Amino acid sequence: MNTHFLKFLTLPIVTVLFISVAGAVSLTVQYKTYGVPDHRREEYAKKVQVIREREKVLSGEISTADLPKAVIASKTHDFGMIDPHITATHDFTIRNEGNGPLALKVNGTSCKCTVGRLANDYLAPGEETTITMEWNTGYQADHYEQTAIIQTNDPLQKEITLTVEGEVRAQLVAPETIGLKAEKLGDLASGEFVLFSQLWSDFTVMSITGEGTDADLNWDVTPIENDDIELADKQSRSAVRVKLSLPHHRYGEFNGKFNVVVRPGDGTDDITREVNFTGKVRRPISFVSPQLDMVEGLRMGMMSVGEESIWHLIVQVRGAEGRKIEVLDVEPKIIQAEIQPTSREGNYRLTLKIPADCPSTIFNLDHQRGYVQVGDPDDKEFMNWFPVLGAVVNTSR
């Protein structure tokens, strides 16, 4: 047979086969909805079906003459404040105000501690039933909220969410963190806080201990009335104010934690609450100037050889009585520093001078910076300092 004739005959056959196979494939391939993971496709399909049924009902395509209608007066119940470790229940009432039978099913709750029960899962038109939600409080002290999902055959309400909420009375409420204040080195770092119970009619603070502070920690407890302004809206049944103090032996910020052991008045076991504390002991000497940056210090900038440059700062000293305040050290040594008391108690005037005969000097590099230190020469702890950055250069070259 002619080769050209065979090629001519084969081409249409292959084309027909290709079209047939492609058509068969197109009939069997199901395209997945973009963005929906495989494990949620069934859920997605149900929601799409509900939307389509609603659209048909609302557009009149499906008559409402024989459809059920689920009605609940309130879908949320607030238990308010309740005791811990009890079982709380509430009955929701659901009515069928439609013309067809209403089918109901509990389709899960938000946690294992919550149970939903239906008194009747099938309602004729005009009938009603109760859905009981039962919840075990445990010892949770925060606001709680639990839900149950009710599945129906009402095309406009395929799922109804019922919610119970409220708060569990706390055994003992303590602040997470308190602040301690110490004005100067040697002062006691002092502070106070309130402990209260929403459950006990009384309790006793047995001990307060801290990290390495037990020997020097002082504390005092005073009962306070439940109508005290600090307890407003706290639902307190008993409360105390705790005042405590401890010495602090260094400047700067400090922190730690206390353990407070409390014995309930109802005879149950002691409980412990951890309270963090923070504080700061300010240095006895501080410096004030518009040119002074809190972090980088005094920026003198670029200065020319042969020109005198002068800066003035105010030095504020706390607890200066009986002390001799001097410039303890300066770097580079070319900086001339002089300090004099002012008419205001505790304030001094600090003058820094770069003399005209100063040679070229750089003190603004990371490895080569200057500073000024001021304090009491007889007390090494009673001092403070600040950086100075600048450079003296010869601009005539």
Q: What does the pLDDT look like over 344-395, one tens digit per residue?
A: 999 999 999 999 999 999 998 877 889 999 999 999 888 999 999 999 998 7
Q: What is the predicted pLDDT for the residue at 32? A: 61
Mean pLDDT over residues 17-29, rounded?
46
- Residue 31 phi/psi, 5-degree rounding, is -80, 130
Q: Give the model's pLDDT for residue 214.
A: 46
The answer, yes or no, to whether residue 288 has pLDDT greater than 90, is yes
Residue 50 contacts residue 62 (beta carbons within 8 Å): no
Residues 124-147, mean pLDDT to the nearest whole number: 80
CB 198 within 8 A of CB 169: yes
Beta-carbon-side half-sphere exposure of residue 395 (alpha carbons within 13 Å): 8
pLDDT attached to residue 28 = 44
Whether residue 109 is predicted with pLDDT greater than 50 in this model: the reply is: yes
**149 alpha-carbon distance from chain centroid:** 31
* DSSP 8-state class, residue 215: T
**pLDDT at residue 14, as a whole number:** 45
Q: How many residues does the chain have?
A: 397
Q: State which amino acid sits at residue 308.
A: E
Give the model confidence (pLDDT) of 53-100 as tens digits: 656 655 556 556 789 999 998 999 998 888 888 888 899 999 999 999
**230: which DSSP letter?**
G
The whole-number pLDDT of residue 21 equals 44
Largest CA distance in the chain: 127
Residue 149: name the closest of 111, 112, 113, 105 by CA. 105
pLDDT value at position 230? 87
* Model pLDDT, residue 5: 43
Question: What pLDDT sits at residue 8?
Answer: 46
Share of the chain above pLDDT 90, in %: 49
Residue 218 and residue 322: Cα distance in Å, rounded?
A: 30
Residue 202 has pLDDT above 70, yes or no: yes
Tokens 């106070």 map to which residue?
192
Tokens representing 118?
A: 């239906």
Contact 253, 278 (CB under 8 A): yes
Give the DSSP letter of residue 101.
-
Q: Is the pLDDT of residue 211 over 80?
A: no
Place of tokens 């201990």: 209
**Total-model pTM:** 0.58
Phi, psi dihedrals of residue 331, rounded to the nearest 5°? -150, 130
- Alpha-carbon gap, residue 354 to 334, rounded angstroms: 7
For residue 17, pLDDT beyond 60: no
pLDDT for the residue 27: 44
pLDDT per position as a tens digit, 224-275: 999 888 898 888 999 999 999 988 777 788 888 999 999 999 999 999 999 9
pLDDT at position 33 is: 63
- Residue 74: both structure tokens together: 């309130």
Contacts 24+ apart (CB under 8 A), 19-27: none
Q: For residue 154, is pLDDT > 50?
A: yes
Nearest to 156 by CA among 55, 65, 44, 42: 55
pLDDT digits (tens, 9 = 90+) for 172-188: 999 999 999 887 777 88
